Copies of this chain bind each other. A is one copy, B any other.
Amino acid sequence: MRIALAQLNYIIGDFDRNVSLIKQNILKAKESGAELIVFSELNICAYPPQDFLEFDDFILKCYAAAEVIAKDCIGIAAIIGLPVRNKKLEGKNLFNAALVLSDGKIADEVHKALLPTYDIFDEYRYFEPEHTFHCINFKGIKIALTICEDLWNIEDDPMYITSPMDMLIKEKPKLMINIAASPFDHSHAETRKAILKRNALKYDLPLIYVNHVGAQTEIIFDGGSVGMNANGTIVHELNYFHEDFSIFDFDANRGLLTSAEFSPVIKHDHTKIASIHDALILGIKDYFSKQNFKKAILGLSGGIDSALVTYLASKALGPENVHTILMPSEFSSKGSIDDSLDLLKTLGVSHDIIPIKDLLDQYLLSLKPIFKDLPFSIAEENIQARIRGGLLMAESNKFGYILLNTSNKSEISVGYGTLYGDMCGGLSVIGDIYKTQVFELCRYINRNGVIIPENILTKPPSAELRPNQKDSDSLPEYDILDKVLFEYIENRCGPSEIISMGFDEALVRRVLKMVNTNEYKRHQTPPILRVSPKAFGKGRRMPIVGRYLS
């Protein structure tokens, strides 16, 4: 039996486009002699549809799309994913389902049992978990068809519960198929392959795994679908961060035998830093293309964060679609401007220069009757950042550019940024990257020759909002800070646990207090491209008004 795998990039709720993409791939599969084509989880509406699932209209459109697609399934069967109505009177009124389309109609239906409801996932908000299971029967071959998480439940997991596969295996299937929407994070691709391998070995069955690819605002799906044999060896792995299509030959006695690739294999460097690099570029690209935006704008400070975002944007959108503004103040160093210009020349990115002194003077003049002779403070620092935000938004509004935010995760964690100033933007590109990772990423980018000027990499980080300001005036050194933040944010360790690791107690308490008291700023941050297992945004839900863990 010949099976096609379609790893595609969908748009949430764009049924016309998704259906057309699916139909093209069904045709391609038929032309390749495939008898079955497998798509990813909830591919009809794209993942995650969120509260669109609460609209009857949306569910009806999913059904209608499935019916249209079924009409193309003559001489080929397709496995698609969509929400379906729970016809029982008990429980939530939807299931997260896989349908088997065959002979022009819906031939079988399978529901998800284990509904991820943690981090960015809210599946229990919408779906009822299934409790009964059956193998699908395709041309006399029993196939254990499951949806994403239903294959993630492993016996040594402390949360292990009897899994759908434990029940399906009793029907003696010959093949496992899992359709997924498993998002990228820098630790995830290897975990995922290990889980798939454990399943192949445990059930002694070959496995077809089809994942979603593409970014849905902040959530990035990396693809990496596979065909795996019962001994856990990978027959073929589909591309990462790109759409892909592949064909496998399956023999009920001998497993997955051969594969044919239909797309060029895109070399993917699986190191953590390379994956983050590729994920961010896909994140920017899809944010723009899915909203029909073309051009980005950002403020270039001379620092490493904005330099990195300029580079990433120019890779994602083309340098001709990136525009920058340099907005020096009296506290900006001459070097900052020269370094920025060097970078722009290398990348071929355009810029304007708008000094902010006159605007700052006018603010201070307008506020003089109120501020009187009070000393220079955070208020004046923030006015500068907000003037820059205002100028960027003015060009954005005038010319239709989308503003990219350049805050990094270390700053966002401790609130070292100005709300409505440098925290402006439609999309936060590096808000899930700690400052030490920003350096790492720049060194990776420079691995074959200097793109980001060395000066930018070596000068001490500074917001340049008052004379001779350095980040280290207000913050611990980033190599310590980032470690404490990582333990608190990614590992969810409390203060006593972090202190017991050997970090200075006063420093830990100060850092955690900064993180907690700045929740209000993060509430107003643009969506942040998620590349870590715990990013700020919908995957981390903390009270704004709450006392600190201390």
Say yes or no: A520 contacts B426, CB within 8 Å: yes
CA distance A91 to B33 in the complex (A): 44
A133 at the interface (CB under 8 A from B): no
Interface window among A54-62, A164-172, A431-439: A54-62
* Cα A390 to Cα B398 with chains together (Å): 20
Give the segment of A195-203, A460-468, A538-546 that binds chain B: A538-546
Alpha-carbon distance between A525 and B367 when the two chains are bound, in angstroms: 26
- In the complex, A274→B495 CA distance in Å? 44
Q: Residue A374 at the B interface, CB < 8 A?
A: yes
When the two chains form the complex, which single residue of B370, B397, B525 contacts A395, counting CB atoms closer than 8 Å? B370
Contact present for B494 and A56 (CB under 8 Å): yes
- A69 contacts the other chain (CB 8 A): no
Whether B398 and A371, one on each chain, are in contact in the complex, defined by CB atoms closer than 8 angstroms, is yes
A349-370, CB under 8 A of B: which get 1 and which 0? 0001011101100110111011
Per-residue B-contact encoding for A453-496, CB less than 8 Å = 1, 0 else: 00000000000000000000000000000000000000011111
Contact, CB under 8 Å: B49 / A497 = no
A57 to B523, CA, bound (A): 24
Given contacts A365-B358, A543-B12, contact A523 B526 (CB under 8 A): yes
Interface segment among A102-110, A155-163, A223-231: the answer is: A155-163
- Contacts A291-B545, A549-B55 given: A352-B370 contact, CB under 8 Å? yes
Decide yes or no: A386 and B379 within 8 Å by CB, A90-B159, A358-B365, A520-B426 being known contacts: no
Known: A50-B541, A92-B159, A541-B51. Contact between A363 and B394, CB under 8 A?
Answer: yes
List A185-224 residues whose CB lies under 8 Å from chain B. Answer: 216-217
Residue of B nearest to A517 (CB): B291
Query: Which residue of B is nearest A15, CB measured?
Result: B547
Are A420's CB and B390's CB within 8 A? yes
The distance from the CB of A457 to the nearest CB of chain B, in whole angstroms, is 30
Q: How far is the CB of A304 from chain B (nearest CB, A)?
A: 24
Q: Which of B52, B371, B495 contacts A57 (CB 8 A)?
A: B495
Residues on B with C-beta less than 8 A from A12 are 543, 545-547
Total copies of the chain: 2
Q: Which of B216, B287, B386 contacts A393 (CB 8 A)?
A: B386
Asked if residues A358 and B352 are in contact (CB atoms below 8 Å), the reply is no
**A510 adjacent to chain B (CB < 8 Å):** no
- Smallest CB gap from A121: residue in B: B125
Bound-state Cα–Cα, A15 to B52, Å: 38
- 1/0 per residue, CB under 8 A from B, across A230-274: the answer is 000000000000000000000000000000000000000000000
- Which chain B residues border A374 with CB–CB below 8 Å? 398
The residues of B that contact A11 with a CB separation of less than 8 Å are: 545-547
Q: Does A501 contact B (CB under 8 A)?
A: no
Tell me if A524 is interfacial: C-beta within 8 Å of chain B: yes
Pick from B92, B93, B216, B394: contact of A545, CB under 8 Å: B216
Provide the bound-state CA to CA distance between A15 and B549, in Å: 10
Interface string of A88-122 (1 = CB under 8 A from B): 01111100000000000000000000000110001
A217 contacts which chain B residues (CB < 8 A)? Answer: 543-545
Extra 5 A-B pairs, beta carbons < 8 Å, given A52-B549, A56-B493: A50-B543, A89-B158, A91-B161, A122-B541, A524-B526
Q: Which residues of A approach B to under 8 Å, CB–CB?
A: 11-15, 17, 46, 48-52, 54-58, 89-93, 117-118, 122, 124-125, 158-161, 216-217, 286-287, 290-291, 352, 354-356, 358-359, 362-363, 365-367, 369-371, 374, 377-379, 382-383, 386-387, 389-391, 393-395, 397-398, 419-420, 424, 426, 492-497, 520, 523-527, 538, 540-549
* 20 A-B interface contacts by CB (under 8 A): A11-B547, A12-B545, A15-B547, A51-B492, A57-B493, A57-B495, A57-B497, A89-B160, A117-B117, A286-B545, A291-B545, A352-B370, A354-B366, A356-B366, A359-B363, A359-B366, A371-B398, A383-B390, A387-B390, A524-B525
